[in-house]
Structure 1
Amino acid sequence: MEMGRRMVVIMVIVLMVALFGGSSTRAFTLCNMDDDGLSACKPSVTQPNPADPTPECCRALSGADLTCLCSYKNSLVLPSLGIDPKLAMALPAKCNLTPPANC
């Protein structure tokens, strides 16, 4: 269990460096979704009143690595970004995309 916590801490540190460190032209990507795609989908995966996904969100999600996104469903990374993991895991179906089998 201690190893799992260490990995979460390391992932959060790497994420924070990616978000707040570096040059002024930095770009953040998560599982092949860039800042624009993540921003387009955020209203659909944020509580308390999630919106239906926009066409822009679904386009971004269609190019994402869904297996990679699924790997975050039990991590602290999504909640630290204000994303509800359950809403995020339901998003592919709302965009008429097939989620990975074990997600």
Structure 2
Amino acid sequence: MDTRLNIIIVSVLLVVMATVSNSQTVCNATVAGLQSCLPAAKPPNPPPPTAACCASLKHADFCCLYSYRDSPLLPSLGVDPKLAFLIPDKCHLSHPPPSHC
């Protein structure tokens, strides 16, 4: 197969994968929305959550999100779960405390 054709196929696949993954949801929040919350959950001095982050959490299932608190994925992304659990309060969203899930 021609090298240029391989590059085109790989490029198309990457665009499709990025589009699909960003439109998928986790706990009723889009992956893209959750990604916008990452800076607010990274130590040592996280910025406030963005409007996009807060909007993405508006309909989130917080008990579902809390179930990921011990996931090895969070540290690999540089996320501190304690900081992540503060984001709903900073967004002024009502949510159950993790201990009630």
Compute the displacement of 1:45 (Å): 0.6
Compute the displacement of 1:36 (Å): 2.0
Tell me the percent identity: 48
For normalisation by structure 2, the TM-score amounts to 0.67
Question: Paired residue for 1:53?
Answer: 49
Compared CA separation, residues 93 and 33, structure 1 to 2 (3 A) = same
> What one-letter code is carried by the residue in structure 2 that aligns with 1:77?
L
- Structure 1 unpaired stretches of 5+: 1-21
Residues 1-103 of structure 1 correspond to what in structure 2 (within 5 A)? Answer: 23=17, 25-27=19-21, 28-101=24-97, 102=100
Aligned length: 83
Cα RMSD, aligned residues only: 2.3
d(CA) in 2 for partners of 1:41 and 1:96? 14
d(CA) in 2 for partners of 1:90 and 1:39? 16
String of CA shifts for 1:5-40, please: whole Å, max 9, x gaps: xxxxxxxxxxxxxxxxx9454315322222320221
3-state SS of 2:20 partner: coil
For normalisation by structure 1, the TM-score amounts to 0.66
Q: Which has the larger radius of gyration?
A: 2
Compared CA separation, residues 32 and 49, structure 1 to 2 (3 A) = same
| Larger helix percent | 2
d(CA) in 2 for partners of 1:65 and 1:86? 17
d(CA) in 2 for partners of 1:24 and 1:86? 28
- Structure 2 unpaired stretches of 5+: 1-15
